[in-house]
Amino acid sequence: MDITYTKHGDYYYPDLALPPQPTGDIGRFGRMRKKYLKVYQPDTFALMLMENTLTQHLIDIDLQAKEQIGLITSRLAKAEGVTEDLKARDQLEWIRAMNSCRARAEEQVVRDLILL
């Protein structure tokens, strides 16, 4: 690896550049994972930060969490009989049941994916 230098005044400074950063939103679950790593696994957090893998890891965690929440919510809704028929008959009951399914799915995903 060749390092080039640029002269500024009387001093030579190395021409250093950061590698390209991944683009994307880390989202709610990515932020939760980042906080968890920073507080409970500071060595892993620092290593990922130095290796430039933290942002991509957080983006991936957020996407996985959203996918799993969708799958678990639909499975719970199907198992509990929360259908379009219920939605047509009693919208408030359908909303309550779906919110319950989603909350339980989020709890499971946070426990299994974010807090590994």
**Across the chain, where does the E strand assignment appear?**
5-8, 11-14
Residue 106, pLDDT score: 97
Q: Does residue 36 form part of some domain?
A: yes
Identity of the residue numbered 60: D
Tell me whether strands 11-14 and 5-8 are parallel, antiparallel or unpaired: antiparallel
Q: What does the mean pLDDT of the chain come to?
A: 94
Identity of the residue numbered 82: V
Q: What is the pTM of this model?
A: 0.81
Cα 35–chain centre separation: 11
- In tens, the pLDDT along 6-20 reads 999 999 999 888 788
Residue 22, pLDDT score: 86
Residue length, the chain?
Answer: 116
Q: Does residue 87 form part of some domain?
A: yes
Residue 16, pLDDT score: 87
The residue whose two tokens read 């991944």 is 22
Cα angle at 77 between 75 and 83, to 5 degrees?
125
User: Which comes out higher in pLDDT, residue 115 or 1?
Assistant: 115
Helix-helix angle 27-40:42-50, to 10 degrees: 120
Q: Does residue 6 form part of some domain?
A: no
Instruction: Domain count for the chain, please give it.
Output: 1
Question: What residue numbers bound the domain in which 61 lies?
Answer: 24-114
* Position 1 confidence tier, pLDDT thresholds 50, 70, 90: low
